[in-house]
Structure 1
Amino acid sequence: MTVIDKIAWIHLAGGAVLSTRSKGKDVYYLPGGKREPGESDMDTLVREVREELDVAIAVSSSEHLGTFHAQAHGHATGTLVRMTCYTAEYAGVLGASSEIEEIAWLTHRDRPRVSPVDQLIFDHLRDTARLTS
Structure 2
Amino acid sequence: MELDVVAWIHVREKRLLTVRARGRDLLYLPGGKTEPGESPAEAVAREVAEELGPVLSPEDFTPLGTVVTEPHDQPRYTSVRMVCFTAPYTGPLHPSAEIDELLLVSPADRGLLAPASAAALDLALSHGLLDR
TM band (smaller chain): over 0.9
Report the TM-score when normalising by structure 1.
0.92
Residue 4 of structure 1 contacts residue 81 of structure 1 at CA under 8 Å; is this kept in 2?
Answer: yes
The root-mean-square deviation of aligned C-alpha atoms, in Å, is 1.5
Q: CA deviation at 1:78?
A: 5.8
Higher strand share: 1
The match for 1:131 is 130
Aligned length: 132
Q: Percent identity?
A: 37
- Kept in 1, the 8 Å contact 2:3–2:77? The answer is no
Q: Does 1:10 align with 2:9?
A: yes
Deviation at 1:74? 1.0
- The answer to whether the 8 A contact 1:50-1:56 is kept is yes
Q: Does the residue aligned with 1:90 lie in a helix, a strand or coil? A: coil
Letter in 1 for 2:130: L
Q: Is the 8 Å Cα contact of residues 68 and 84 (structure 1) preserved in structure 2?
A: yes
Identify the range of structure 1 (114-123 vs 71-80) with the bigger mean alpha-carbon deviation. Answer: 71-80
How far apart, in 2, do the equivalents of 1:58 and 1:77 lie?
Answer: 32
- Unmatched segments (≥5 aa) in structure 2: none
| Cα pair 2:5 2:34 within 8 Å, conserved | yes
CA distance in 2, matches of 1:65, 1:98: 26
Counterpart of 1:109?
108
Residue 23 (structure 1) aligns with:
22
- One-letter amino acid of the structure 2 residue matched with residue 24 of structure 1: G
Unaligned runs of 5+ in 1: none
Secondary structure in structure 1 of the residue aligned to 2:125? helix
Aligned-pair CA distance for 1:125? 2.1
Q: CA deviation at 1:91?
A: 1.0
